[in-house]
Amino acid sequence: MNIFRGRYQHSLDDKGRVAIPQKFRESLDGPEKGGGSLVITVEPDECLVVYPESAWRELEEKVGALPQMNEDLKTYLRFTIGWATDVQPDRQGRILIPQPLRDFAHLERDVWFVGLLNKFEIWNGDRLAQLTGKERIQSVSAALSGLF
């Protein structure tokens, strides 16, 4: 099972490649625990979300079993599945983030990786800071307090 946790800062190179944090590479599918296909797509918060292929397949199966005529589901599919792009880490553990995805997430030189258990996100640092301020965290923690 893939488990991603923690927060790491890395830099995009001039070609749009970025090294996946070592701790995340250790959780990836593949023969050498660092390989394996990944799927990158967009999130409404203007970040990217990266799934190991096995986690992405699970999501596709769940979504595929839902009533496809539902208008909200169609919108979700157009957004999430429509932007999905397969990538393969190179031998250095880098992935190439296509330009349209970099533009969508406002990714510049420094980016942040944030682990979310079975997937991880890639953020522009300024956008991440806006959404994870103390007041926002307190509000969300209070709203979710009954779940834990």
The structural domains of the chain, ordered by start, are 7-147 (3.40.1550.20)
Q: Cα dist. 53→16, 124, 135 in Å?
A: 21, 24, 35
Q: Tell me: the pLDDT tens digits for 85-137?
A: 999 999 999 999 999 999 999 999 999 999 999 999 999 998 888 877 666 66
Show the beta-strand stretches assigned E in 1-148. Answer: 7-11, 17-19, 38-43, 47-52, 85-87, 94-96, 110-115, 120-124
Supply the pTM of this predicted model: 0.86
Q: Tell me: the pLDDT tens digits for 126-141?
A: 888 887 766 666 676 7
